[in-house]
A and B are shown apart, each in its own frame.
Chain A
Amino acid sequence: MGYQAQLRIWRGDAGRGDLADYKVEVNEGEVVLDVLHRLQATQAGDLAIRWNCKAGKCGSCSMEINGRPRLACMTRMSTFGENETLTITPMRTFPVIRDLVTDVSFNYAKAREIPSFTPDPATKPGEFRMQQVDVNRSQEFRKCIECFLCQNTCHVIRDHTENEGAFAGPRFLMRIAELEMHPADTADRREIAQDDFGLGLCNITKCCTEVCPEHIKITDNALIPMKERVAGRKYDPLVWLGSKIGRRQVKDTPKVPGKK
Chain B
Amino acid sequence: MTQATDTSSRTRAQIADRTLRKDPWWRAPAITATLLTIWVLYATVHVFLGRWYWVPKYHYLTPFYSPCISGSCATGSASLGTWFGKVPSIIPYALVSLPFVLGFRLTCYYYRRAYYRAFWRAPAACAVREPHKTYTGETRFPLIMQNLHRYFFFAVILISVLNTYDLTQAFRGPNGDFGLGLGTLIMLINVMLLWAYTLSCHSCRHITGGRLRHFSAHPVRYWIWTQVSKLNGRHMQLAWITLGTLMLTDLYIMLVASGAISDLRFYN
Interface residues of A (CB under 8 A from B): 10, 12, 14-17, 64, 66-69, 84, 87, 89-90, 92-97, 102-103, 105, 108, 130-131, 133-134, 136, 153, 155-156, 158-160, 162-163, 180-183, 185, 198, 200-207, 210-211, 220, 224-225, 227-232, 234-236
Among residues of B, the one whose C-beta sits closest to the C-beta of A14 is B10
* Contacts A89-B20, A95-B11, A96-B13 given; does A182 touch B150 at CB 8 Å: no
27 A-B pairs with C-beta separation under 8 A: A10-B15, A15-B10, A17-B13, A64-B20, A66-B23, A67-B21, A68-B21, A103-B5, A105-B2, A134-B216, A158-B127, A158-B129, A159-B135, A160-B134, A183-B214, A183-B217, A202-B137, A203-B137, A205-B113, A205-B117, A211-B126, A220-B232, A224-B109, A227-B109, A228-B150, A228-B202, A236-B150
Measured CB to CB, the closest approach of chain A to B198, in angstroms, equals 16
Q: How far is the CA of A105 from the CA of B113 in the complex (A)?
A: 29
Contact A228 B203 (CB under 8 A): yes
Contact A203 B22 (CB under 8 A): no
**Contact residues in B for A185 (Cβ distance below 8 Å):** 213
The verdict on B9 contacting chain A, using a C-beta distance below 8 Å, is: yes
**Contact residues in A for B123 (Cβ distance below 8 Å):** 155, 159, 205, 207
Q: Is the interface of B mostly helix, strand, loop or mixed?
A: loop
The verdict on B139 contacting chain A, using a C-beta distance below 8 Å, is: yes
Contact A96 B20 (CB under 8 A): no
Total B residues in contact with A, Cβ cutoff 8 Å: 53
Q: How far is the CA of A155 from the CA of B121 in the complex (A)?
A: 11
Measured CB to CB, the closest approach of chain B to A118, in angstroms, equals 12
**Contact residues in A for B148 (Cβ distance below 8 Å):** 231, 235
